[in-house]
Structure 1
Amino acid sequence: MRLADSWEALREKNFRWLFIARTISLTGSSMAPVALAFAVLEVGSAKALGLVLAGRTIALVVFLLVGGVISDRLPRRLVLIVSHVATALTQGAVAWLVITGHATVASVLVLECLNGAVSAFTLPALQGLVVQVTPTRLLQQANALMSFARNGTLIIGPALAGLIVAGPGAGWALAFDALTYAVAALALARLAIPPLARATTSMVRDLREGWSEFTRYQWLWVIVVAFGVLNAIHVGGWMVLGPYLATQHPDTLGERGWGFVLAAESVGAIVMTLVLMHWRLRHPLRLGMVGASLFAVPLVALGVAPSAALLVPVAVVAGAGMEVFGTGWNVAMMENVPAQAMSRVSSYDMLGSYLAIPVGTTVFGVLSTVADARWLAGTAGLVYLVICLVTLALPSVWRLERVAASEPVDESAEQPTQGG
């Protein structure tokens, strides 16, 4: 493939508008954690911040399956526009309260819970819409482009938020986040896609059908179960033990060194997205699980020698590997799961991921008080590697190949399915 063809997905008008909308909203989303943290700390304590973040995540988890059903029932473009407007309103309300000095922990908590509930509709709808606006042959490239936008904004957004918080204040950074969602809603309004043909059934039946579709593919549910553990290790072992060990080894790692390590991980992911725009993954899950297994390396390295000099290069490799998994996973789902069930299946997938976050942070937080953190990190890395290799050895994971297709997804008919 020529280098110029790496951007072919952007020639598709609908995908181009979706990409523009997602990039704009991600810019605001990447700023939100920094802005929200300082906004809450202005009116409360670290305990209050933890309560707000937990409340938002819980609301997201509670409504995630409902969001999947609604996104498969209604036009996903409409679901995304409404959810973006709702996000702009809730985040804008938090910004107004902070700017005017009327914010309280309780008011911010309520609004962020609403914001989390709205995200439960945004994410499944987005996953399903990518399939509708992208020709099958360009799904890998489209997912790589989406990842490029996400990883790029994760580098730019926090830095921009820090500048705004240090200047006008946290409220204005939150206001900018709200504005990005309003602008993204306008971009989504430019999409022109026919609705999918769906039968009207009860929500309970829709959930059962989604679950049936989710469990239909062995490779799908096995990987989701595996990543329920892997994500807990990733979040807990890396994001809890990493900062802790950074403070315990200021000469070799420290807070600044840990920041470089996290940045290196994002750099590796961004570089890999560029590669994946023109390198076809013939076996998306085989290569994806190999890529995911590379994250065991920085975990083990964190336990063996908490040093920025060692962790930065291995974090680049791990970030690239995780990007291979992310793109391969999305492509495998989008090529094999029927378009009419994509949002529901995605919501079950996301549920496993989000449930793992509080589990991982809690478990590793407790373990770090009774065991040596370096030993925990090294052991976590070995367990991570074993789980990846066991999952990789499953025939349905190892053998799954790309669907050979060159036409756009037929949005008015059922997609062909393949068993895992």
Structure 2
Amino acid sequence: MSSRTALPLSRRRPAWAGRNYALLTAAAVITSLGSHGALTAAAFAVLEDGGSAGDVGLVAAARTLPLLVFLLIGGAVADRVPRHRVMVAANALNCVSQAAFAVLVLAGDPQLWQMMLLAALCGTGTAFFSPAAEGMLFASVPAEHANRAFALFRMAMNGAAIGGAALGGAMIAAFGAGWVLAVDAAAFAVAGLLRAALDVGRVANRAPSGGLLADLREGWTEFRTRPWLWGIVLQFSVVVAVVGAADAVYGPLVARERLGGPAPWGLALAFFGAGTIAGAVLMMVWKPRRLLLAGSLCVFPLALPSAGLAVPLPVWALCAVMFVSGAAIEVFGVNWMTALHQEIPEEKFSRVSAYDWLGSVSLLPLATAMAGPVESAFGRTTALWGCATLVVVATAAVLTVPDVRRLTRRPGPAKAGSAGVPATARAASRAAGARDAAD
């Protein structure tokens, strides 16, 4: 064994990538590999049992609805109790629900209501897990290395998502959907064990709160008093909705009728995934001073795929457009996480994350449900141009918010008790102490 391979893991990691960061990243990669294959497996499980496209939609909706119901509660709980316990409990629920789903499919003749119930349980686990996971990740990253840490984390996640989708499709073809669901259950079990090993001894204790409702009100105050925060969440409620409708509904239809079938659309989606990895690599070295301005400008390219489908572009050009939009949205994603890490007090990370998640996905079910009627009323080409236009309009609107344009990168995380003070005002008031904070 060479001296290089003999080095312990902690010596091979960058100095800023602590044990908790490494465990969180490894666990996220494992669950991403399993979950992206399982999403496809669940759809094929419904179809193989004789279900219709509408039945597939019902199972998908059953997974999404708990996010809207439980996200805020999950965020408040994660700021009240140790976050790693919430994460492990959520992983356990996901493991059990996916294992039961796998058994149903492997045993044959699963009922639609059973699959919907198990999908809803999995969605409930996600609703509690996501705010806790984001808060735990933020707490594990030093402020001066946040940009690089988030870029590496997202690059690992995006790579796992691409690999998981490809591996899941191959496994479904070779072994059937039930075994892919079983692998997903095992992935949740392994990830839960990794998260149970997190070192929380150095995580600051959070002060006792006045109750769950008081926590939710406090989180809402933190959210609504920051124009850059609620402005961008409102922007993304529109962007996520129309991009989701274009990708999930119009994209496959255009591919089937104009591009040669599902394979070209799958290739285009793969180029989008490759673009996200390229964007994460860029953000490993680029630290724009006005991080929200740089990030928001990079949302404009998300209009390109809808416009490309409206034309429609040839496959090679559509792949290029998807690559560019994937890279651009990753630039936004890293800058957004860095801004939250910088501006939000640690003890409120999870509640703010929950409001962020809820706002961003709130219009997605409505948009996907309305995609068909809108196409019938106005035509698919008009609907796609409408999607592209809404992305541009929503992004241009958020750039009118002064704090979005002016919020600058600064050393040091947000301090407790800073809620309600505009981000730019806090940055200005601390300018005199910036050098001390950097030291």
Q: TM exceeds 0.5?
A: yes
**Structure-2 separation of matches of 1:279 and 1:239:** 32
- The reply on whether 1:176 has 2:183 as its aligned counterpart is yes
Report the counterpart of residue 284 of structure 1 in structure 2. Answer: 291
Deviation at 1:364, TM superposition (A): 2.1
TM value normalised by structure 2: 0.89
Question: Which of 20, 42, 49 is 1:43 aligned to?
Answer: 49
AA at the equivalent of 1:376: A
Q: Note if contact 2:83-2:133 (Cα within 8 Å) is conserved in structure 1.
A: yes
Report the counterpart of residue 414 of structure 1 in structure 2. Answer: 416
Report the counterpart of residue 16 of structure 1 in structure 2. Answer: 22
Residues 164-195 of structure 1: CA deviation (Å, up to 9, x unaligned): 21222211100000001100111112211235
Question: Which of 383, 388, 398 is 1:391 aligned to?
Answer: 398
Q: Note if contact 1:9-1:141 (Cα within 8 Å) is conserved in structure 2.
A: no
In structure 2, the CA distance between the partners of 1:107 and 1:383, relative to structure 1 (3 Å rule), is closer
Q: Note if contact 1:17-1:188 (Cα within 8 Å) is conserved in structure 2.
A: yes
Which ranges in structure 2 are unaligned for 5 or more consecutive residues? 1-12, 424-439
Question: Which of 103, 117, 121 is 2:124 aligned to?
Answer: 117
Deviation at 1:404, TM superposition (A): 1.5
Q: For structure 1, which segment, 152-161 or 300-309, has the greater mean C-alpha deviation from structure 2 after superposition?
A: 300-309
- The reply on whether 1:30 has 2:36 as its aligned counterpart is yes
Q: Note if contact 2:16-2:141 (Cα within 8 Å) is conserved in structure 1.
A: no
Q: 1:103 is paired with a residue of what secondary structure?
A: coil
Q: Note if contact 1:80-1:122 (Cα within 8 Å) is conserved in structure 2.
A: yes
Report the counterpart of residue 246 of structure 1 in structure 2. Answer: 255
Question: Which of 349, 354, 374 is 1:342 aligned to?
Answer: 349
1:303-342 equivalences under 5 Å are 303-342=310-349
Residues 96-135 of structure 1: CA deviation (Å, up to 9, x unaligned): 1211226222222111111111110110001100111111
AA at the equivalent of 2:122: N
AA at the equivalent of 1:289: S
Report the counterpart of residue 87 of structure 1 in structure 2. Answer: 94
Residues 239-282 of structure 1: CA deviation (Å, up to 9, x unaligned): 3222222222145xx42221111111111111111111122132
Q: Note if contact 1:95-1:172 (Cα within 8 Å) is conserved in structure 2.
A: yes
Deviation at 1:53, TM superposition (A): 1.0
- The reply on whether 1:275 has 2:282 as its aligned counterpart is yes
Residues 293-312 of structure 1: CA deviation (Å, up to 9, x unaligned): 11112222222234212211
CA RMSD of aligned residues (A): 1.9
- The reply on whether 1:255 has 2:262 as its aligned counterpart is yes
Q: Note if contact 1:9-1:134 (Cα within 8 Å) is conserved in structure 2.
A: no
Q: 1:269 is paired with a residue of what secondary structure?
A: helix
Q: Note if contact 1:294-1:321 (Cα within 8 Å) is conserved in structure 2.
A: yes
Q: Note if contact 1:44-1:105 (Cα within 8 Å) is conserved in structure 2.
A: no
**Structure-1 separation of matches of 2:311 and 2:198:** 51
**Structure-2 separation of matches of 1:207 and 1:97:** 38
**Structure-1 separation of matches of 2:273 and 2:348:** 31
Question: Which of 209, 212, 215 is 1:203 aligned to?
Answer: 212
Report the counterpart of residue 6 of structure 2 in structure 1. Answer: none
Q: Note if contact 1:14-1:133 (Cα within 8 Å) is conserved in structure 2.
A: yes
Q: 2:208 is paired with a residue of what secondary structure?
A: coil
Report the counterpart of residue 5 of structure 2 in structure 1. Answer: none
Residues 30-76 of structure 1: CA deviation (Å, up to 9, x unaligned): 11111111122232412222111111111221111110111110100
**Structure-1 separation of matches of 2:390 and 2:90:** 38
In structure 2, the CA distance between the partners of 1:201 and 1:214, relative to structure 1 (3 Å rule), is same
**Structure-2 separation of matches of 1:255 and 1:170:** 19
Q: 1:401 is paired with a residue of what secondary structure?
A: coil
In structure 2, the CA distance between the partners of 1:41 and 1:255, relative to structure 1 (3 Å rule), is closer
Residues 177-236 of structure 1: CA deviation (Å, up to 9, x unaligned): 000110011111221123532223221111111100011111000111111111111111
Residues 320-371 of structure 1: CA deviation (Å, up to 9, x unaligned): 1110111111111111011111111111111112222112212222111122
AA at the equivalent of 1:184: A
Equivalent pairs, count: 408
1:39-78 equivalences under 5 Å are 39-46=45-52, 47-78=54-85
Q: For structure 1, which segment, 331-340 or 9-18, has the greater mean C-alpha deviation from structure 2 after superposition?
A: 9-18
Report the counterpart of residue 152 of structure 1 in structure 2. Answer: 159
**Structure-2 separation of matches of 1:133 and 1:87:** 24
In structure 2, the CA distance between the partners of 1:149 and 1:9, relative to structure 1 (3 Å rule), is farther
Q: 1:8 is paired with a residue of what secondary structure?
A: coil
AA at the equivalent of 2:255: A
Residues 125-160 of structure 1: CA deviation (Å, up to 9, x unaligned): 011001111111122222212211221122111221
**Structure-2 separation of matches of 1:56 and 1:343:** 21
Q: Note if contact 1:9-1:138 (Cα within 8 Å) is conserved in structure 2.
A: no
Question: Which of 235, 250, 265 is 1:226 aligned to?
Answer: 235
In structure 2, the CA distance between the partners of 1:338 and 1:158, relative to structure 1 (3 Å rule), is same
Deviation at 1:82, TM superposition (A): 1.1
**Structure-2 separation of matches of 1:342 and 1:129:** 9
**Structure-2 separation of matches of 1:306 and 1:375:** 15
